[in-house]
Structure 1
Amino acid sequence: MSYQVFARKYRPQHFDEVIGQEAAVTTLKNAIDLKRIHHAYLFCGARGVGKTSLARIFAKSLNCEKGPTTTPCQTCSSCVGITKGTSMDVLEIDGASNTSVNDVRELREQTKFLPSHGKYKIYIIDEVHMLSTSAFNALLKTLEEPPPHIIFVFATTEPHKIPITILSRCQRFDLKRLPQDKLAGHLKNIMSQEKVTLDDESIHLLIGASEGSVRDSLSLLDQVISFCGNHPSSEQIRDILGLADRVLLLETLRAILSEDIGHALKQVEGLFNKGFDLKIFAEGLLELLRDALIVKESPLSPTSLSQQENENLKDWTQKIPSTHLLILFQILLRGTEEISRSSLPKIVFETTLIKMMKVRELVSIPELVEKLNAENNPPNMVRLRLQPEPATSNQQSSPPSSTHERPATSQPSPDLHSLWRSFVQKVLETRPQIGAILEHARPLKKVENLISLGFDPQSIYPDMLKDRLKTIEEMAVGFFKQQIHFSLEKSAENQKQGGPTVAQQKQEEQIQRSTKLREDALNDPSIKLAQEILGAKVKEIREIK
């Protein structure tokens, strides 16, 4: 007998073997016992959670020679035929390759004929959402008034693509991904039968890669055994799955928490040179950060950490507040999303890590609000941390400060600044990726049809713009009504000469808006009265949009 892969060998053959789908199984068994058989069922769920397997078991239960029964015999001609896929009364149709209205019309003609052996003629249509609109329309009448011997069982991973007119004619069952503990128990049971040994970390790796899919986890187990034999190690499994070593993840997280930029970037360089997928590594870091939060806030909650890892995370996060860990998580989450979209994943990942390690130096909005509300604390002192100081010529007369005065610097004309911001906004509407880069440029001067753009000395944005200059210049023609060329300059003097970038202007406006919102709320008579009556303090202010 030829070799049979685990996903087929251990496919459930009766209801009691289906794991993790208790609600669907119980409902179908009760329907059979009470003889309340519906004419159309829809099984929804992710790949490999048991949609087609459950459809086959349901078909066996209905057409078994001893049925309808919730425990099909598995030995009669009907049960054997359904298991082998040769039954004349149970037809499995691939919705992805039979999408046309003609396919459905042919199927509809076949429904007129009685079953050859069993009690019902059952059509199992997999990936039913792939049918065309006209095919669904052709199926409507048959679904509404089917012959008494016909039962449809639909399976799909994307139920939102199925017309509501079809959904309303079906009994729907949403099959869920398997939780880790049930999937781990299932794998251990199979491994004991196959005499395979895996430690808990290895099982966790397989389950994580399968994303709650039984079929995927068994296929991966098959692959691991083919590569490593019956006693694979977690390191070998990481190699097969393309995952970074656990030690590298922990070392990188330790570098982030200790703000060791050099060590963290060294880890990224090593990963990149070895060909690891940086997005997968970033996702592993996210999971580790999540575990660190759980260890700190809820030590008794389950995690995938070993005892040594648990102790390490406790030690590393002992003096780090949970709010700081949450901020790191949010920065890394956004960076992970950007890595998947970017053509420069290494640069995005490196800048994300640097941002995580420099987050303490950033000034939070609540901190700024407190400084703005403090007595004898001019707003300019706060603004200096976000953008260059305005030229002294534009300031109102004020008492002279100490002995050192900052010399006035040349600024671009107000018209150029407002024109530049309008142009960047226009680019953001049509080409958001290019517009996001232009937000970090300063318009230095405009001489005839040449606009000079300034950037900070260490900025990576000029390099990102070089290949896009032609596109930007084409967009500029329609906005400036003339042929425009751009020159890119990197210099420390650009901050003084060009003033704030569009990104800095938006950040400053948001701070001012938040400040005004807080002041308005604190000065509201109703709020003051509530504070007096309840002895309360304003903890947080949110704007309802």
Structure 2
Amino acid sequence: MAYLVLARKWRPQIWEDVVGQHHVTATLRNAIQHDRLAHAYLFAGPRGVGKTSAARILAKALNCEQGPTPTPCNECGNCTEIAAGHSVDVFEIDGASNRGIDEIRNLRENIRYAPAHGKHKIYIIDEVHMLTNEAFNALLKTLEEPPAHVLFIFATTEPHRVPATIVSRCQRFDFHRIRSPDIVRHLRHICDSEKISVDDEALALIARKADGSLRDSQSILDQMISYTEEAITVETVSQALGVIDLDVFFEVTSILLAHDANQMMILIDRAVSKGIDLEEFVSGLTEHFRNLLIASASGRADLLHVSAADQKRYLDAAAQHHQADLLRLIRIITDTSFSLKRDPNPRITLELTLLKMVHLDKTVEIGSLLTALGNLERSGTKPSFSPAGSPENTKPPEKKTTVQGVADQSHARPRDSVPKPEETPPPPEPGLIPVTEIETRWDEVIEAVKKKKITIGSFLNEGVVHRIEGETLEIGFAVSNGFHVDAIMRCHHQVEDVLKHLFGIPLKIRCLKGDFSPPRIMPVTPEEKQAGLNELGKKSPVIQKLIDDFDVEAIE
């Protein structure tokens, strides 16, 4: 007897054999059991997930000599004929090669005749989306009111190409991509039954290569059995299929962390020398960054479709990367994947992309940047920026018991002489506006200042109204906001003009630094972020050079 490939030998024969489609099999079994069958079904889903197999099982369940029954016997003449594909009452039609109106006219003529052996005449049209518009139109009336003994089952991988008039006359079932653990479990069952020695890591790699298709995974396993006479290992699968080992991608991320351009160029040369397809390399690297991002964001290994050993590797590696950095890397490599397809020299494009990643600095939070610049202006020391999400950056600021003040233009005094903020503000002097009214309209003040100078208005958003002392409005800021305070006081006239316009009273302003309660958080527009970044560039040549030479962008 001729050899039968695994995909045909292990084709599902009963509902329990269908892998990963319980929502479909349970519904159809209940419909048969309670005699609630529709006259037409549409099975939609990716290739190799069980659409045609489910159609055959449904045909056996309806035409079984013991049926209709949810559990066909697979022993009677009707069941064996349907399984072999030569039943006179079950017609499997290829929609790609029988797509014209003439074929549909012949079908309409034949459905009038009663079934020869079974209780139903069943038409299974595979790839139904390939039918012409004329063929679909000819099928409409028949599909709407078919004879009682006729059942239509349509299968398609592109349901969006099936006319809505056809879909509305069918019960639609969407077959899902099969999860990698389910594919691995099924392949393990096949290997144990066929006495084939194979590693779990090799099965996981086959499942990942199959991309949710059980039939593809069985075909790959068949190929691996022929490829090696010994046990199937992950190394043999990688070599036979040209799958890039995960060690290569982990090496890429290690080089990125070390900012080692020399090692990156060596790695690219080694990959090209081994004949690795560069598009496959970019696709694998994108998935690698995606796995790192999922591990970093969720802290869960079960969301990664890799082996248990690799899941632990991803969790350990994710701790070395910040999510913002991974998002930037994914954005860069995704843009490269589009340009690589039409580039006449893809190696140069890949080299430039990876070198850009090597020289990409870690994400720095704007708060850390402003604090460091403020310290630089006050003390002249070299700034030190902590990457976003680092322990230094996430540590809460220490409480200060004293208040440092920045003198206004009319009340110059030493910083140490600024009084400590009191818990309860004193009552306002007669003739002045209450401080509560300014607090109530503080958002209005900020918006008015933004219209004069957007950066000063954004800096004011970090402060809180403290009190009114004489003719001076005191605004409180955190100790780390020294840069904000200096910038506001340099433009104090604009703020004072706004206060006079809104409240009708000439008020001076004084900015205090200390342990003040957090301010209200107002939404910051992209224009305000960009304006703040440009303001930083004006104050620091280092920041301006970063803006000019690199893709520096302000993020949350």
| TM-score bucket of the superposed structures, by smaller chain | 0.5 to 0.7
Q: Closer, same or farther in 2 for the Cα pair 1:317/1:147, shift >3 Å?
A: closer
SS in 2 for 1:82: helix
Q: Give the Cα–Cα distance (whole angstroms) in 1 for the partners of residues 68 and 311 of structure 2.
A: 53
Q: Give the Cα–Cα distance (whole angstroms) in 2 for the partners of residues 350 and 204 of structure 1.
A: 30
1:69 maps onto 2:4 in alignment: no
SS in 1 for 2:361: helix
How big is the shift at 1:540? Answer: 5.1
Aligned to 1:327: 328
SS in 1 for 2:151: strand
Bigger drift between 284-293 and 175-184 goes to: 284-293
How big is the shift at 1:528? Answer: 9.8
Q: Closer, same or farther in 2 for the Cα pair 1:75/1:353, shift >3 Å?
A: same
Aligned to 1:359: 360
Aligned to 1:96: 96
Aligned to 1:52: 52
Would you say the 8 A contact 2:462–2:519 is kept in 1?
Answer: no
1:473-511 deviations in whole A, cap 9, x for unaligned? xxxxxxxxxxxxxxxxxxxxxxxxxxxxxxxxxxxxxxx
Aligned partner of 2:221: which letter? L
Aligned to 1:6: 6
Point out where structure 2 has 5 or more consecutive residues left out of the alignment: 378-449, 466-475, 477-516, 528-556
Would you say the 8 A contact 1:64–1:72 is kept in 2?
Answer: yes
Would you say the 8 A contact 2:64–2:73 is kept in 1?
Answer: yes
Q: Give the Cα–Cα distance (whole angstroms) in 1 for the partners of residues 36 and 18 of structure 2.
A: 21
1:192-211 deviations in whole A, cap 9, x for unaligned? 10111222221111011100
Would you say the 8 A contact 2:204–2:307 is kept in 1?
Answer: no
SS in 1 for 2:123: strand
After TM superposition, list the pairs within 5 Å mapping 1:316-465 onto structure 2.
Answer: 318-360=319-361
Q: Give the Cα–Cα distance (whole angstroms) in 2 for the partners of residues 517 and 96 of structure 1.
A: 67
After TM superposition, list the pairs within 5 Å mapping 1:492-511 onto structure 2.
Answer: none
Q: TM-score normalized by structure 1?
A: 0.67
After TM superposition, list the pairs within 5 Å mapping 1:117-516 onto structure 2.
Answer: 117-229=117-229, 231-302=231-302, 303=304, 318-360=319-361
Aligned partner of 1:519: which letter? I
Q: Give the Cα–Cα distance (whole angstroms) in 1 for the partners of residues 334 and 62 of structure 2.
A: 48
Q: Give the Cα–Cα distance (whole angstroms) in 1 for the partners of residues 274 and 452 of structure 2.
A: 50
Q: Give the Cα–Cα distance (whole angstroms) in 2 for the partners of residues 82 and 534 of structure 1.
A: 74
Q: Give the Cα–Cα distance (whole angstroms) in 2 for the partners of residues 294 and 250 of structure 1.
A: 15
Q: Give the Cα–Cα distance (whole angstroms) in 2 for the partners of residues 341 and 240 of structure 1.
A: 27
1:519 maps onto 2:454 in alignment: yes
Aligned to 1:452: none
2:520 counterpart (536, 539, 544): 536
Q: Closer, same or farther in 2 for the Cα pair 1:33/1:332, shift >3 Å?
A: same
Q: Closer, same or farther in 2 for the Cα pair 1:178/1:308, shift >3 Å?
A: closer
Structure of higher CA gyration radius: 2
Would you say the 8 A contact 1:20–1:182 is kept in 2?
Answer: yes
Q: Give the Cα–Cα distance (whole angstroms) in 1 for the partners of residues 179 and 526 of structure 2.
A: 36
Q: Closer, same or farther in 2 for the Cα pair 1:88/1:269, shift >3 Å?
A: same
How big is the shift at 1:173? Answer: 0.1
Bigger drift between 54-63 and 269-278 goes to: 269-278
Aligned partner of 2:323: which letter? S
How big is the shift at 1:270? Answer: 1.9
Q: Closer, same or farther in 2 for the Cα pair 1:316/1:74, shift >3 Å?
A: closer
Q: Closer, same or farther in 2 for the Cα pair 1:72/1:274, shift >3 Å?
A: same
Aligned partner of 2:360: which letter? V
Would you say the 8 A contact 1:187–1:218 is kept in 2?
Answer: yes
Q: Closer, same or farther in 2 for the Cα pair 1:179/1:311, shift >3 Å?
A: closer
How big is the shift at 1:273? Answer: 2.5
Aligned partner of 2:59: which letter? A
Q: Give the Cα–Cα distance (whole angstroms) in 2 for the partners of residues 228 and 136 of structure 1.
A: 48
1:127-148 deviations in whole A, cap 9, x for unaligned? 0000000000000010111111
Q: Give the Cα–Cα distance (whole angstroms) in 2 for the partners of residues 352 and 516 of structure 1.
A: 41
SS in 2 for 1:172: strand
How big is the shift at 1:293? Answer: 3.1
1:272-324 deviations in whole A, cap 9, x for unaligned? 22221112122222232233334444444323566776676666655542321
How big is the shift at 1:105? Answer: 0.7
1:85 maps onto 2:85 in alignment: yes
Would you say the 8 A contact 1:91–1:123 is kept in 2?
Answer: yes
SS in 2 for 1:359: coil
Q: Give the Cα–Cα distance (whole angstroms) in 1 for the partners of residues 348 and 454 of structure 2.
A: 40
Q: Give the Cα–Cα distance (whole angstroms) in 1 for the partners of residues 37 and 309 of structure 2.
A: 54
Aligned to 1:34: 34
Matched pairs, number: 403
**RMSD between superposed Cα atoms in Å:** 3.5
1:19-72 deviations in whole A, cap 9, x for unaligned? 111111111111101111111000000000000000000000001111000111
Would you say the 8 A contact 1:244–1:276 is kept in 2?
Answer: yes
Would you say the 8 A contact 1:521–1:527 is kept in 2?
Answer: no
Q: Closer, same or farther in 2 for the Cα pair 1:228/1:96, shift >3 Å?
A: same
Q: Give the Cα–Cα distance (whole angstroms) in 1 for the partners of residues 35 and 88 of structure 2.
A: 23
